Structure 1
Amino acid sequence: MLERETMSDQNRLVLAYSGGLDTSVAISYLKERTGKDVVAVSLDVGQGGESLETIKQRALACGAVEAYVVDARNEFANEYCMKALKANALYEGVYPLVSAISRPLISKHLVRAAHQFGADTISHGCTGKGNDQVRFEVSISSIDPTLKAISPIRDLSLTRDVEIAFAKEHKLPIVQTEKSPFSIDQNVWGRAIETGFLEDPWNGPTKDCYSYTDDPAFPPVEDEVVIEFKQGIPVKIDGHDVTPLQAIEEMNRRAGAQGIGRIDLIEDRLVGIKSRELYEAPGAIA
C-alpha cells in the first residue's frame, strides 16, 4: 500500500498530524516511501498541551510542505459534543463517546485539506488494534470515496525503536523519546487511557493515570451547580450565559474536582478484540 507512486499520480498526501513521535516521523517516512510531499493537518479539539503554532512549526521542520491548523474547539463542542449529549450517546451504554466523536470532525478537515492542496491520499497514525482506523477510513470514504487512506504505523508495523532511530538519522526535531507507561487520547469531552500495565485488568489505576479528575475519596467542599438547558443544550450555569464549549470546560473543572466521571471497564472493540480502558469525562457525565 505504501509503494512508490507513479509520476502520473498527484504528488501530495495529507497527514493527520498530532506533533508527537509517530506522526513527526511519518512526514519524512511517507515522503521517502511514496515520493509525495506531505501536508500536515492539526486540529485543536480541546486536548490541551502544545499550541497549534508550535505544532505547525514542528511539522514544517520535519519536512511538511504545508501545515493546515484549525482551532476546532467551538465546532467540536457545538456540532459534535452537543449532539452526543442530546442523544445520550454512551459506548456499550457505559461511557460518553470521547475519541469516537472527534474522528469524523478531524476527517472532515483532512478531506478539506486534501481538496485544497491537491492531494489524492490521506494518512493517519492508527495501529491495527483499535477502532480509530475504522473511524477515520469510513469517515474519509463517506465524504470522498476517491481518496485513498493509509497508515504507516499499521501497514508497516513500525515500532517505537524504529521510529526513534529514523528520527535520529534524519535529525528530526522530536520532543519525546521515552515510552509512556500508557497511551492517552483526550479532547474537551474526555480522556481515554489504555495499554501498558493497564492491560492487566487486575492492575488498579495509579494516580498518574488521571488528569481531569481528582480522587473521589478526598473531594473538596461540596459544589452545587445549577445548569439551565434550552432544547437540550446548556445555556446558563449558575445564572451566567455559557457557550457549549464554556459549559463543558466549566463542568470539567467543577465536576472533575469532585472526582466525577471516572470509568474503568473491559470493552469490546469493533475489530474483534477486548480492551481494558480507563475514561475521564467529568463534564459529559455531570
Structure 2
Amino acid sequence: MTFPALQDYLDRLRHTPVDTSLWLDPQGKAHGRYLNSTLTSVYQPIRTLADHRIVGVQGYMRSHSRNDAGLSVWKLLDTVATDDQSIELDRLCRLLHVLNFYRQPELVDADLYLSVHARLLSAVDSNHGMSFRHVLDVLGLPHRKIILQLPMIQPDQAWIAHYVADNYRRNGFRLAINVADVRQGLAQLTQIRPDVIKVDVRELYDEVAALELLLEAQTNHVSVVFKRVESQGVHDKLLRLAERAPQSLKVQGHLWDQPRSVFAEWDIVSEQQPLGATS
C-alpha cells in the first residue's frame, strides 16, 4: 500500500535544512528538534506468542543516536516543559512516529501503538484527538491502524481517563490501557472499554485471574498483550498459560526485541525463536 500525500510531504522534507524543527536524514528517517534536543523514533514489536509474528509496534521517542540507543525524550524534557510545551512535544512525537512508521512498507499491516503521557491526561483539551486525526487525514494515513495507549490509571484519575478515552474514540482511534496486573485489567475492562489491555507480565502471579481476563476480553472483543517479557522463565509461564487460554497470546519485551528504528521484510514474517530457546 502506498500513501501519495505522505510521499509528497516526505519529498518536501528532503530539502529541509537540518536546523529546522523537522527534517529527513540521508536514509529517509524523520527527525525533529525540541528544546535543543534532536529527536527520532524507535519501535518495539508486539508479537504473537505462538509463531513470533509481528502484529504491532509501539513507538518510543528517543534522542538521536547512531545505534537507536538514545535516551527517552520524556525523561529528558518532562521536568522542564510546561503543560503547553508538553502538548506541543506530544504532537511532534506523534508526527515523527507516523512519518517513520508509514515510510516503511514492511510495517503497513501492523498496528502502531502510541503512548499518551500521564501528564497529558489533564493537560489536553477536547480538540487534541481531532488535531491528530486531521494530521492523518492530510497525509492520507489510516487512523484505524493507530492505537492510542493510555498510561496506568490511578483511582483519582478515572474521570479524566474517561474524558480522554471518549475524545479519542469519537475521533475514530482505537484505545489501549496499561494495567499493573490482571485484576486491574478485569476492573478496567468494562470501565474504560478499551480495544487492547496491556498487562505487566512481571506481576503475573494469578493464573486463574489471567484466564478469567482472557475469557472476558475474548467475550468483549478485546486483545490482551503481555508486556515486559524479559526472561525465559516468564516466556515459559506464558506458554503454559497459552495452553488453556481462550485467545492467542500477544507479547512484547526485550526477550525478543530491543527498540529499533528500521525493519526489514523478514522481521515482519520472522518465526525466530526467543533468546535462550533451543531448536
Class of the TM-score when normalised by the shorter of the 2 chains: under 0.3
Larger Rg: 1
Under a length normalisation based on structure 1, what TM-score does the superposition of the two structures give?
0.27
